[in-house]
Amino acid sequence: MNERPLMYFGHPINFYNTPKEADLVRIIEARFPEYALENPNQRHHQQGYVDWKAQKGNGMQYYFQIVLPKMDAGIFLCFEDRMFGFGVFGEAEFIAQRGNPIWEIDVEGNITTMRLDTNRLLTIEETKKRIYPNYSK
């Protein structure tokens, strides 16, 4: 059996389970049929995050140690103002540092090759404020 290479879809959790997420998944799958899309918005990934957070103190490490090393490419969603959340940017950086291609997708579905421009990187606090409407430090 010849399996397709894996492409990770990094996107902020406030897009999870929204019509926009479903639209973007369709766009990505149509543009990159040679890849199997790995969406972190799946129950087993959410459980992996919870388990790692409980056992090791940092749920994001589940992605960096278990999920991302298996990826052959990545596509990453920026916010409407073209900025990237801290975690999404870190995931893109991880995949790129392994020599794998990365792309960005905007909320309109436009796809371009991604450059790791830290001028477009939000801090953890800035990211949380965008993702969680009632967030305060």
- pLDDT tens digits for range 65-117: 888 999 999 999 999 999 999 999 999 999 999 999 999 999 999 999 999 99
Model confidence, pTM: 0.90
CATH 3.40.50 fits 6-131, yes or no: yes
- 111, β-bridge pairs: 105
- Report domain extents, the chain: 6-131
b/e burial code for range 70-87 (CB count within 10 A of at least 16 → b): ebbbbbbbbbeeebbbbb
- 36-47: pLDDT as tens digits: 999 988 888 888
113 pairs with which residues across the strands? 103
